[in-house]
Amino acid sequence: ATVRYEAENAPAVCEGAIESNHTGYSGSGFCNSTNAVGAAAQFTVNAASGGTATLAIRYAHGGTDTRSANIVVNGTQVESASAFAATGAWTTWTTKTVTVPVNAGSNTVRIEASTAAGLANIDYVELADGAPAQTGAI
């Protein structure tokens, strides 16, 4: 199934501020990380089984630089200085996908700024674990 995890909903952690001043986000806001190396948006995501899953990260970046982030899953860095290209406006959101290793059950995903510019604004992540969608109880 594909499940969305909003940056503003605990147990997600935004090392910075949840803001809502740029439209187009999902839910009630997005994470504007602190402008510092290591500042992160952290998510707790669930996978039906262990293996690899696809993580989609929705973000906006209205600056002219390329922001970059390390992607750390369960404490292991799986991408180093992964690029978050400019989207043209802070109200223009796009999705970047990353293949990540997951354990069955709960997993911690940290998107951690690798430069002092901080992260792009992060709206949510969606984890697609390849398992069939849950239907109602039968």
For ligand GCU, the closer of residues 21 and 77 by Cβ is 21
Q: Which of 118, 122, 127, 129 binds ligand GCU (CB under 6 A)?
A: 118
Burial (CB < 10 A; 0-12, 13-18, 19+), residue 13, is middle
Is residue 29 near ligand GCU by the rule CB under 6 A? no
Instruction: Choose from Ca ion, ligand GCU, none: what does 63 bind? Cβ within 5-8 Å by kind.
Output: ligand GCU
The answer to whether residues 75 and 137 touch, using CB atoms and an 8 Å cutoff, is no
Instruction: Choose from Ca ion, ligand GCU, none: what does 107 bind? Cβ within 5-8 Å by kind.
Output: none
Binders of ligand GCU among 63-102, rule CB under 6 A? 63, 90
Is residue 29 near Ca ion by the rule CB under 5 A? no
For ligand GCU, the closer of residues 9 and 115 by Cβ is 115
Burial (CB < 10 A; 0-12, 13-18, 19+), residue 109, is buried
As measured in angstroms, the least distance from the Cβ of 22 to ligand GCU is 6
Cα gap 124→59, rounded to integer Å: 8
CA distances in angstroms from 21 to 28, 32, 84, listed in the order given: 10, 10, 20
Instruction: Choose from Ca ion, ligand GCU, none: what does 58 bind? Cβ within 5-8 Å by kind.
Output: none
Cα gap 75→108, rounded to integer Å: 8
Interaction site with ligand GCU (CB under 6 A):
22, 32, 63, 90, 118, 121
